[in-house]
Amino acid sequence: MSEAPTLRSRRPLTLRFDIPISKTHEFWDSLRAGRFVTTKCSKCGNVSFPPQSDCSRCMGSEFHWVDLGQDATLVTYTQVLTVPASFSAEGSYTVAIAEFRGGVKALAWLEGVTAEDATPGMKLRVEARTRSDGSPYYVFVPV
Ligand SMILES: [Zn+2]
């Protein structure tokens, strides 16, 4: 049985994301220092994550930074078995949503526990990491 002809490309595809961070660089600077911060609207008090330079509730553009701390609670998670091309070197991984004190939720990779052993409600800690290219990122790990 011969394979049907396709238009599938076999060329490698490199994706580059240039995301402007001029208004939210404080998040990345803080993450490098081991602190997990986000924005709080100075007008209505809405706390956003990821950090936002414009409030989604009142459209205000004045904000200040608040420290979310390191402790969070696992809300839900999923194991990614079919890995996107940009993460092909990583193998399968688990993505989690966790809630910080005050109700702010964040999404990050969950490490240090298998998807079979993860349980909603378990206590997590957010940890700052640095990629080989020097860029910071964060993960959740069990406490
Ligand atoms: Zn607001």
Q: Write the pLDDT tens digit of every residue in 50-70.
A: 999 899 999 999 999 999 999
**How many A from CA of 94 to the centre of ligand 1?**
33
Q: Identify the domain containing residue 81 by its residue range.
A: 70-143
**How many A from CA of 41 to the centre of ligand 1?**
5
**How many A from CA of 38 to the centre of ligand 1?**
14
Quick one: pLDDT at residue 63? 95
Quick one: pLDDT at residue 58? 98
Q: What b/e string do you get for 63-91 counting C-beta neighbours within 10 Å, with b at 16 or more?
A: beeeebebebebeebeeeeeeeeeeeeee
Low-confidence ranges of the chain (pLDDT < 70): 1, 6-10
Query: CB of 109 within 8 A of CB of 93?
Result: yes
Are 113 and 61 in a shared domain?
no
Are 79 and 130 in a shared domain?
yes
**How many A from CA of 49 to the centre of ligand 1?**
13
Instruction: Give the tokens for residue 33.
Output: 């220092």
6 within a domain of the structure (yes/no): no
Q: Which pTM was predicted?
A: 0.83
**How many A from CA of 117 to the centre of ligand 1?**
39
**How many A from CA of 67 to the centre of ligand 1?**
18
Query: CB of 21 within 8 A of CB of 28?
Result: yes
> Domain tally for the chain?
2
120 within a domain of the structure (yes/no): yes
